A and B are shown apart, each in its own frame.
Chain A
Amino acid sequence: MQSKHKILFGSMMAGMLLLAACSGNGGNPASPSAQPSASAQNGNAQGGKTQDEAPVEIKIMANYTKPELTDSDKKFIEEIEKLNNVKLNFEIPPATGYSEQLQLMLASGTYPDVVMFTDTANQSFQNAVKDGLLIPVNEYIENAEYLRQYTYQASWDQLKMNQDDNIYGIPRTSVVRNDAYFVRQDWLDKIGFEVPADFAVTLDEFAYILEQFTKGDPDGNQKNDTYGYGGAYNGNKVLDPIVPGAFNLTGWQAVESGEYAYMNPLYDRNGDNFKKALEFSARMYTSGYFDPDSATNDYSKQRERFVKGLTGVFPGFSGHYDRLINDLKQTNADAELTYLFVKNENGEVKGGSLAASSTGLWGFWGITSTAKNPQKIVDVLNSWISDDMWDKTAKGYEGLDYVVVGDKKAPTDPPAVVAEVRQSTMRRANDTSFFLTVSLTDEQRAKIVPWLEKSIETVVPAKDNAFIPEAAKKPDFMDYTKTWQQTIMQIIMGEKPVSEFDNLLEGWYKNGGGDYVQQMNDYITKMESSK
């Protein structure tokens, strides 16, 4: 009765008071908390800039997993600010809401100076370009020596959204690689397979390994509880065929004969490379050499099951070696890892891919039309990977990110907090040293380097630059994508014969695939001729 009401009203009043108090706190849009402490207010920048010039304020909207800067980040940003006479304000929305916040940013009418976009297919990005919100960066990168030096040409090409020369963003580059497979060395020893010196095996050998890992009790526990290939689904929840490189599935390339000048083996009516790949995967899957959960595994489950010792082959990036082996050893003390590539029928290792080609573009920075000083922005991004800063970008600072033991860098104890802003804002192309972290022992380092180098050497660049033709947005085509995905999975899982693929491909051409191929050819021809 009365007491209940007192509680009701009391909480209401308290609530309103608190609301009023806290609204004042966060209601100031001009003060995001992610600001470095000591700022470049002295204006005492290097390089002979006058003290009178106020630092240029740059507002950056970026996508990271944590919204706040670490100490290492702050220190690094201070240096960058001094170097360029700028003041950087980072606004980092939650990663799970980044695409919504991009939309809201566009709708809000007040834009930051620089915005991170995840890829060129992103609708917010395409809208921004179409509506003139993002400016071409061509004139500003003329003197950006490091950007020019350490960015893949394909990345710049991918950003030429209107198929003219205008580049609509500064690429955040990552090393283009042909990733191969981690394989349990101890299991290979048990089944008596010797790893070749160049880490490359033939397709038959690979199939043999998968078979023996499943049937040969490679962990020696007298139980039939292991599988060869640790599979997982891709970003579209589709189980893809494996070892694309061994079947020369190298994406859009120039072809000598056929109806079109450029063709992707996936859509090639005159070739059967893709069918062979499907047949191989189907054979492996139906023989039971795949992890039976493959079609329902995402990346983290795939990794978990490999670490657990359920599977013996795990597709992955060789730079992750140390973390993988550490986790592995906790469940299996005898575990060892090696890294294997699979050769095609000519004995070559070629990088294959089923998705759009990798141009090295790992997100990019778009400069908005409201940015007051685009040149400064480009300078900042340029200096991020300059020779002066690169070592700090990649490795960080002594005391914060590593300690010096003798003459080498070693990890801190407890392990340093990851400085995402520092090391994930800009990177260099072809720079494998970045992935050789301080936590690697010399022995581990010696092991990984050949793998990293081989991953980079065996890349076969494709020509499509992740271009999406208009035909792909037509209703029939989009509906057919679903049929395509379903059929591919059914073929691999053995529910439909491989010959079914011929019908699938015919259907694809009928449902807009023909236009797709034609438009892709037009695009590639145009891009090639402007080189």
Chain B
Amino acid sequence: MLDVINYTLITLICVVMLYPFMNVVSVSLSSYSSYVQNPLMVWPEDVTLGAYKEIMKSGMLWRSYANTIIVTVSGVGIGILLYILTAYPLSKKVLKGRRTLMLLIVFTMLFNGGLIPNFYLMRSLDMLDTLASLVLPALLTGFNLILMKNFFESLPEEIEEAARIDGASDPYILFRIVVPLSKPIIATLCLFAAVGYWNNFFNAIVYIRSPDNWPLMLYLREVIEGASTMARSANAAEMGEEMMTSETIKYATLVLVMIPILCVYPFLQKYFVKGIMLGSVKG
């Protein structure tokens, strides 16, 4: 009985959550005049692939796609390693200065020097206008770090004790025992980090100069808001109406940007496996 209620409720909620996505996809596949008639549509009307054909012509779309993929893959790859290395010691009570370190980390989550100092830093590291400048500033976030530390703390100590008695060294314990048991949190952080990189545009605004190095989200933002940002400061009339992008183009670009990252979670879901602790410790 409870199951029926549960399933129904979840289905209803899923429908509500699904709606924005359906609307965006539908508009991207419809003509502009059908959009105007019915902006809240859930199904495409007057179906046309015109918007997609139009935007796929843009070389910049593909280049920024490539940039973002490179940035995301390297950022997540390096980041995960760094998270594991840093969170593990923090999860050990014996670590001296643990409290201070945690405080320092929380501090970085709240306080920020702002645009200019970060720019100066990248400049002195000679990394302006490189993809590295998009990877490095977001490599470690305090939030993810604390999540992983928290997870490590929840692992029973007996497992590590047993291994240590058997003569295992710390790196062995970390990489051969703790990490395999941490698949859910690693998968979660991969997802969070990947989405973080994929959706980030601000770093590009600060560090990137050449259009060849634009990440995907910056390109998307330009498509959706570029003309209206300019229209806010100038007069729409001067700009010429041709410059105002139509909603169908905006949404088609949005769909193309969303699709890859949406596929990451389903791929990672198999790591969210219950009961991985079963059998690791006996007695």
Contacts and interface: CB of A to CB of B under 8 A. Distances in A.
Assess A/B contact in the complex (Cβ within 8 A): yes
Interface string A68-106: 100000000000000000000001111111101101100
A44 interface: no
A420 B211 CA distance: 16
Contacts of A14: 73-74, 77
Contact of B119 (A1, A94, A108): A108
Contacts of B239: 65, 424
Interface string B198-237: 0001001110111111100010011001111111111111
Contacts of A308: 36-37
Contacts of B67: 22
A323 B130 contact: no
A479 interface: no
A321 B126 CA distance: 50
B211 A68 contact: yes
A271 to B, nearest CB: 28
Contacts of B179: 4-5
B123 A65 contact: no
B145 interface: no
A27 B129 CA distance: 5
B131 A23 contact: yes
Contacts of A95: 222, 225-227, 229-230
A287 B282 CA distance: 79
Contacts of A420: 243
B119 A320 contact: no
A29 B128 contact: yes
A455 to B, nearest CB: 10
Interface residues of B, number: 70
Nearest to A298: B228
Contacts of A424: 238-240
B180 interface: yes
A104 B119 contact: yes
A300 interface: yes
B252 interface: no
B261 interface: no
Contacts of B269: none
Interface string A118-162: 110000000000000000000000000000000000000000000
B166 interface: no
A327 interface: yes
Given A8-B77, A68-B60, A323-B241, A307 B131 contact: no
A12 B78 contact: yes
A91 B228 CA distance: 20
A12 B77 contact: yes
B75 interface: yes
Nearest to B72: A15
Contact of B211 (A33, A118, A119, A179): A33
Contact of A300 (B31, B214, B234, B244): B244
A403 to B, nearest CB: 17
B119 A107 contact: yes
A513 interface: no
Interface in B112-127: 115-116, 119-120, 123, 126-127
B131 A96 contact: no
A478 interface: no
A29 B129 contact: yes
Contact of A96 (B128, B130, B222): B222
B180 A4 contact: yes
Nearest to A1: B180
Contacts of A179: 237
B167 to A, nearest CB: 19
A101 B130 contact: no
Contacts of A1: 176, 180
Interface string A208-245: 00000000000000000000000000010000000000
A23 B233 contact: no
A94 B235 contact: no
A96 B205 contact: yes
B212 A97 contact: no
Nearest to A322: B241
Given A103-B116, A118-B233, A323-B242, A108 B131 contact: no
Nearest to B78: A12
Interface string B175-211: 1100110010000000000000000010011101111
A418 interface: yes
A331 B205 contact: no
B33 interface: yes
Contacts of A41: none
B78 A299 contact: no
Contacts of A363: 234
B206 A100 contact: yes
Contact of A63 (B209, B230, B235): B230
B147 to A, nearest CB: 18
A219 to B, nearest CB: 13
Contacts of B233: 118-119
A331 B37 contact: yes
A51 interface: no
B76 interface: yes
A97 B205 contact: yes
Interface string A300-313: 10001001100000
A486 interface: no
A25 B212 contact: yes
Nearest to A110: B123
Among B37, B183, B233, B244, the one with the most A-chain Cβ atoms within 10 Å of its Cβ is B233
B78 A15 contact: yes
A92 B73 CA distance: 28
Interface in A510-529: none
A33 B235 contact: no
Given A95-B222, A323-B241, A15 B70 contact: yes
Contacts of A118: 233-234
B80 A65 contact: no
B39 interface: yes
A331 B131 contact: no
A34 interface: yes
B214 A94 contact: yes
Contacts of B221: 94, 96
A63 B70 CA distance: 28
Contact of A32 (B73, B209, B238, B247): B209
B14 interface: no
18 contacts: A11-B74, A12-B78, A19-B131, A23-B131, A29-B128, A65-B226, A65-B230, A92-B211, A96-B225, A97-B218, A100-B115, A107-B119, A108-B123, A299-B236, A307-B36, A330-B32, A330-B33, A418-B240
Given A5-B175, A97-B218, A108-B119, 7 more contacts: A63-B230, A65-B222, A66-B222, A91-B209, A96-B218, A330-B33, A363-B234
Top 5 A-B pairs, shortest CB-CB distance: A15-B74, A97-B205, A317-B237, A11-B77, A330-B33
